[in-house]
Chains A and B, each alone.
Chain A
Amino acid sequence: MRASLFITCYNDTLFPETGRAAVRLLERLGVEVEFRSGQTCCGQMHANAGFRREAFSQARRLVRLYADAEAVVSPSSSCVAMIRDQYPGLFEELGDEKLREQFAALLPRVYELSEFLVDRLGVEDVGAYFPHRVTYHASCHGLRALELGERPYKLLRRVRGLELMPLRNLERCCGFGGTFSVKNGEVSSAMLTTKLEDVLAAGAEYCTALDNSCLMHLGGRMHRQCADMKTIHMAEILAATETSPAEVVG
């Protein structure tokens, strides 16, 4: 099994440790990981900001880049949701027939990380060890667009040492929303305050998710108010073992 890692522009720049963890995890599971250096952005930021033509040109780049990939795996639920939910509309509106065909052929091979593990590899126990109390934030895109459902929990429950702490109002948005966090900064921030009350009440050491954008939002406020909790991408938890613990620990 050969998988192409779509790291996303965001993780590449801000959260390389998530990418390193994904590589380590996948290789430990026997997957041959490749990384195509031509990758940049899926176009989500432009599409959601209303820059449709720009989003289209990035979408076209991505489809061409991965046209011959056996599988594309990404540790970002919102970017995968962009590809799955918005590309069809973009290509219908702006794309040529060949590109649409290329995309239709690629789409079934694009996976969010937990989908790839559970659905494609059929693994729930990835051999991870993470002796901490963890709460899972089901990001809106993971929850509603990708409908990840039980997958993240299946993976987390099999991590040795991990104590999964329930999160109340799980379905409620953290208020990030990309440019929304800046364009409507005050409202976004109020939403974050509400969300963080629930997250901190979970009594965990770590808040994890399958999307670093929510985690950057939550983590940014946790750090601001010196909260007794940190954020960590789930890839890093799943990559951690007894002998090779997660990078943030310590």
Chain B
Amino acid sequence: MEIKVGMADLNVCSGSDSITTLGLGSCVGVVLWDPKSKICGMVHVMLPDSTSIRNNTNTAKFADSGIEELLKRVLAKGAKRQNLVAKIAGGAKMFSIQTKTDLISIGERNIEASKKKLRELNIPLKASDTGETYGRTVTFYPETGEYHIKRVGKELKII
């Protein structure tokens, strides 16, 4: 079965199931995986920092609170804290115009914030495919640990 994660959303899966998020742009798809128990989870991060925004009840939306919440969920599903590794993808710069709010570099800031949170939580970052200027559909397979990245008009990439 393929489990779908929407924008600003998270979920977990295990065994022969897979977990996917379609059409990632400047958002980042962060995966936590326990290779021993084959349990994993994915969060679709939109913004870097929950503390800088008043309207922050959706924890899955932010890199800091989203990865923390995801950690809780994979542990609750039976993953072991010390086995966990991470893979991340996304954070593209879809347009190159300058806006006053500077949200155009948001992809980069999402990547940085995700990496920072993983460091804080002591979860090793095993692989990443980030930045660039194209969208990605990402699927993670907890049985093999493969993170598949599909792009328009380009060949499949596996990290």
The answer to whether A binds B is no
